[in-house]
Structure 1
Amino acid sequence: MMSKPDILCIGSVLWDVIGRSASAMRQGSDVPGRITRLPGGVAMNIAMTLARFGLTPAILTTVGQDSAGDELLSACAARGIVTDLVYRSADLPTDQYMAIEGANGLIAAIADAHSLEAAGAKILAPLSDGRVACENAPFQGRVALDGNLTLTLLSEIAQSPLFSCADLRVAPASPGKAERLFPFVKQSRGTLYVNLEEAGLLCNQTFKTSRAAAENLLALGAARVLVTDGGADASEGRPDGLLTQTPPQVLVARVTGAGDTFMAAHIASEAQGLDPAAALDRALKAAATYVSGETPS
């Protein structure tokens, strides 16, 4: 029998292949380091952090009927993530992500989420077929949604009655996919979690501070936003005001997954009753701990 989830995490669940070096790198660098293969993807990273904070997340995604997919779902279950709702395709392989990180941050990354994009709305079936909810009784819980879905599907979700009663939290998969979130700005739906670059892409301008970015996103129509800027200030913007805080300063050991950790920690903090200032503070501390390498992947 499926455990009742506290939140649905919709989007990419794949294998992360990450090469990390303690050296600063540039294009063409060839340096020693470590290569790891870990469960990843925006939805997966969020789900893993939610589980560490005591919540029970369920993932809505696609995973291939291949050995990589079998291993991935086993890894999810071992981390306390409900996998009963996953769409498994016989024709699509399990997705993967590859990144190179140096002492100076992320050098390059390639996200192969073609199977997720090809599966499309099939991953959302549990929201309408009665397994989680149905058209006459929409899901009323928390939903974490990532921007690895196609723009067409994200646009449909932004307007769909299936999500009309949900506490919807949305994040881009990367700056290159930030503009896929614009339907949620236009429809004033959900809470958006973006970094400073992503906020600039959504607003078609450059910002110097997270506070300015949050103000502009609200002016465009966003219902609520949280804007981060690495080790600089982060801001929450909502119709009743703005909140800005500074994260702890730490030595950076990794960057991939930091934004997902921040988002998940913030969602968990609010689910556990923390007020806005305390929730933002806890999320910033969780992200700082993660990038310092102290939190397990």
Structure 2
Amino acid sequence: MMKSPTILAVGGAYIDRRGQVSGAFVPAASNPGTMREAVGGAVFNALRGAVRRGVSGSLLSVRGGDVLADTVSRAIAAAGIADLSVVFLDRTTPSNTTIIHGDGALIVGLSDMALYDLALPKQIRRAKVREAISTADAVLCDANLPSTALERLVALAAGKPVFALAVSPDKAVRFAPVLGSLAMVFMDRREAIALADVGIDTAERDIIDRLRRAGLKYGVVRSDDGPVLGFDEAGAFSIPPPRKVTGVAADALAGATVAALLRGLTLRAALRDGVAAAMLAIESAELVPVFTAADFADALALVPEPQKIGMS
């Protein structure tokens, strides 16, 4: 039997609180709604999605010494992921709280993740982490790592593919110093605009062209109301998803795409896998959906074939 690919993921695994307003949102007032709490984080969600698609994974993150840290630890173990994370007893476990409208549009978010900036650069120097990088087939990271940590991680990977998730526009720019060394970046349109350093009205093809000139050879750009775009050395293409790919579905897209790439699929074929996984995530109440091979095949059958985009 062929050995499954292995990924070391580095970045966020934290408490994700998501509140949804039941009716019309009223600023500066108490709004009725619901609150859900789970363990999330872009790189952790994506890794769980990759594991569901046959990859073996390990995770390096950091957390505090509070009760929430146990919740994160249990979630990592339940996902079948080896935990290389470090606990800081005098710190609070990172968290992200978002409040959304009934239709899913963001109202406000609060991110408490200073521990990542403080601790992750030092953790990447650990011998255990260097060993994990040396034995992994690929590295998956998110922009919760500060630029110094990203630079060190890319250097330690020494030619192995490093896949990256942009997380947010303000953090996406952290990839700029290492853009030419990354195997691929997954981003939404706002994150791509920030990383490419272009105006908000810039056309997609011009955003891609700017990212390429900055050194990025492979990338995926999605938007809330448009197709998922991919580009590689052969050109750019688009896949219109049957449903909008936002939030957690974007992490599912990244995880399944990376898993498919490590199995040897082309980016065009791999991104169809990613869109299928995103569709299943949208339909699920869980951050990372549980699905059968038949479920995945049914979803994949609904994903259109990629369409070539002409570049200027």
Shorter-chain TM-score: what band? 0.7 to 0.9
After TM superposition, what 4+ stretches of structure 1 lie above 6 angstroms from structure 2? none
Runs of 5+ consecutive residues of structure 2 not aligned to the other structure: 289-312
Counterpart AA for 2:146: T
Q: CA deviation at 1:9?
A: 1.0
Runs of 5+ consecutive residues of structure 1 not aligned to the other structure: none
Question: What's the counterpart of residue 9 of structure 1?
Answer: 9
Question: What's the counterpart of residue 243 of structure 1?
Answer: 237
Counterpart AA for 1:225: G
Verify: 1:277 aligned to 2:268, yes or no. Answer: yes
Question: What's the counterpart of residue 114 of structure 2?
Answer: 114
Q: 1:207 to 1:142 in 2, by over 3 A?
A: farther
Q: What aligned pairs does 1:218-297 form with structure 2 within 5 A after superposition?
A: 218-249=212-243, 255-293=246-284, 297=288
Does 272-281 or 32-41 show the bigger shift? 272-281
Q: CA deviation at 1:81?
A: 1.7
Q: CA deviation at 1:151?
A: 2.5
Question: C-alpha distance in 2, partners of 1:296/1:264?
Answer: 13
Q: How many residues are aligned here?
A: 283
Identity %: 24
Verify: 1:63 aligned to 2:78, yes or no. Answer: no
TM-score in terms of structure 1 length: 0.85
Question: What's the counterpart of residue 44 of structure 1?
Answer: 44
Does 164-173 or 273-282 show the bigger shift? 273-282
Question: C-alpha distance in 2, partners of 1:207/1:143?
Answer: 33
CA contact under 8 A between 1:218 and 1:238: conserved in structure 2? no
Question: C-alpha distance in 2, partners of 1:165/1:266?
Answer: 20
CA contact under 8 A between 2:21 and 2:100: conserved in structure 1? yes
Q: Deviations over 1:188-234 (max 9, x none)?
A: 43311111111111122235554442222112221221111124112
Does 284-293 or 31-40 show the bigger shift? 284-293
CA RMSD of aligned residues (A): 2.5
Question: What's the counterpart of residue 20 of structure 1?
Answer: 20
Verify: 1:192 aligned to 2:185, yes or no. Answer: yes
CA contact under 8 A between 1:9 and 1:60: conserved in structure 2? yes
Q: What aligned pairs does 1:13-162 form with structure 2 within 5 A after superposition?
A: 13-23=13-23, 25=25, 27-28=27-28, 30-83=30-83, 85-102=84-101, 103-126=103-126, 131-133=131-133, 138-139=134-135, 141-158=137-154, 160=155, 162=156
Question: C-alpha distance in 1, partners of 2:172/2:112?
Answer: 17
Q: CA deviation at 1:182?
A: 0.7
Q: 1:101 to 1:165 in 2, by over 3 A?
A: same
CA contact under 8 A between 2:143 and 2:167: conserved in structure 1? yes
CA contact under 8 A between 2:163 and 2:185: conserved in structure 1? yes
Does 8-17 or 215-224 show the bigger shift? 215-224
